[in-house]
Structure formats: C-alpha cells, structure tokens
C-alpha cells in the first residue's frame, strides 16, 4: 500500500492538531516520560488511510541528547530489542496514548545516571522547553509557527514548517545509514536496497512480517530548538507500533 504524500505543511488542515496535551500523551504508569519529550503535532491517520481513522499519532521531540551525542548513545546497558542508538519504540493504546517499550534508563536525564539537573547542559534543555512555549504562543497569535530569525524583504516573519513531509514512501537519508550498519532495534527487520539513483533506493522496515509506513517528519528546531533535522515517525498498524528515529544533516 502506498500512502499519498504532502510536503512543507505550514498551516493546519483536517486531521491535524498542533501542541496536543502532554498529559494525555502517555499512560499513567509512564508519566515519567513527560520529562523527556514535548508533543508537537497530532495526526489522525484518516488523512492518509480512511481505514486508519481514529488512530492518532503524535510527533514528539526529545529534550535530549546534547549536541555531541545521539539519543541513547551513552546508555547502552539499558537498551533492549525495541531501543537502540537513535531509535525508540512505542505501542499505541486504544485511546491513542503511547506506551514506551524501552527502559527508563535509556534516557540519560534521569537519577539513574546521576544527571545533574543544575548543570549548564540542563539549562540548555530548559531553553528548548522555553522556545517550545514561545512558539506555541506564536502559533496562537499568527496561525503558524513564527520563525522570528528569518524575515522577508517586507519584514514579514518566516513561516516554519509544521511538517516537512506527511505520508509517502520511506526515503533514503542520513538516518538510513544506521540500517545499513545494523544499528537499529532487533525486534524489527530492516533492509536498504541501494540503486545508482538514490531516489530509487528502497528502505524496508517491518515487524513480525508486517510493514511499517512512513507517517511524517519535521525538524525539532522549527518547534523547540535542538539539532534534529528530521524527527522520523513510522507506524506498523497491525501491532500498533510507533517507531521513531532522528535524522541529522
């Protein structure tokens, strides 16, 4: 099944909700996850496939890692079959909440790793949260994410993308090098079939024989700062598995 694709989405349409509630994102048993993510945009999958109507996925941005590391890079002892460096997995519940299929120690910003919550790096992470709230206020005012750093000749504030891409094929990019190098959660089957023309390269990801579909990607810095050029969200609808990885240019 091939999903239709849209690019450079800057304004809301049907089936999209920006800044969904953080309190409604995770299950009660995993409330601790709210310290590690901010919710960006919720997508009712009916926009891509009518049979998926009512299944709502939320694109989330992690508050870590620092610029010199990838997510999960310094916590290898807490990885499992559903997590790896730069990869993490959730299961979507019937009420569209996320259940993290990894361990709390996957995240460095925890007491498990004796994180210093008064450190200079923590101050940088708090600035990400502040920018997130500023952009949330900006969206309420303008109806789009205002990128105040960029203005046209008339002084109009540049519109930031809500999503760089919605639907379509899984595309070859920097993050797929992890697949080629075997760096991905072992619960999944992944393969890159390269061709001379990069546009013809096929990236296949599946779980227990069922394929993942590309849902969306967006840059973290459009929403809350950070260094992620592409938050990649994939979905396997049979098991309701949501897979995230992150692309850096």
Domain extent listing, the chain: 6-168+209-247
Query: Has residue 2 got a pLDDT over 60?
Result: yes
Phi, psi of 76 (to 5 degrees): -55, -30
Q: What is the pLDDT of residue 218?
A: 97
Confidence at residue 70, expressed as pLDDT on a 0 to 100 scale: 92
**Whole-angstrom distance between the N-terminal and C-terminal Cα of the chain?**
29
CA dihedral 28, 32, 38, 44 (to 10 degrees): -30
pLDDT of residue 163: 97
> What value does the mean pLDDT of the chain take?
92
- Does position 99 have pLDDT exceeding 90, yes or no? yes
More confident residue, 204 or 201: 204
Calculate what percentage of the chain has a pLDDT beyond 70. 94
Closest of 32, 92, 53 to residue 244, by C-alpha:
92
Rounded average pLDDT over 38-63: 97
pLDDT of residue 188: 98
Region 198-216: mean pLDDT is: 91
pLDDT band of 249, cuts 50, 70, 90:
confident
Is the pLDDT score of 32 beyond 90? yes
Express as a percent the part of the chain with pLDDT over 90: 73
Average of per-residue pLDDT across 107-112 = 93
């Amino acid at each position: 099944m091939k999903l239709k694709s849209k690019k450079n989405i800057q304004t809301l349409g049907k089936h999209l909700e920006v800044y969904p509630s953080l309190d409604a994102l995770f299950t009660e048993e995993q409330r601790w996850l709210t310290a590690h993510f901010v919710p960006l945009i919720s997508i009712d999958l009916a926009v891509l496939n009518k049979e998926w109507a009512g299944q709502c996925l939320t694109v989330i941005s992690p508050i870590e890692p620092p610029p010199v590391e990838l997510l999960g890079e310094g916590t290898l002892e807490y990885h499992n079959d559903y997590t790896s460096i730069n990869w993490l997995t959730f299961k979507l519940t019937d009420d569209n909440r996320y259940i993290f299929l990894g361990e709390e120690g996957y995240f460095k910003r925890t007491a498990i790793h004796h994180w210093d919550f008064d450190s200079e790096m923590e101050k940088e992470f708090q600035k990400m949260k502040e920018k997130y709230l500023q952009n949330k206020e900006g969206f309420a005012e303008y109806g789009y994410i205002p990128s105040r750093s960029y203005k046209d000749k008339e002084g109009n504030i540049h519109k930031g993308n809500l999503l760089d891409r919605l639907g379509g094929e899984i595309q070859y990019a920097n993050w797929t090098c992890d697949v080629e190098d075997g760096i991905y959660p072992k619960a999944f089957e992944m393969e890159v079939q390269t061709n001379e023309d990069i546009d013809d390269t096929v990236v296949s990801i599946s779980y227990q024989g069922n394929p993942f579909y590309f849902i969306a990607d967006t840059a973290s810095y459009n929403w809350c700062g950070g260094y992620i050029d592409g938050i990649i969200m994939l979905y396997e609808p049979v098991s309701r598995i949501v897979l995230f990885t992150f692309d850096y240019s």
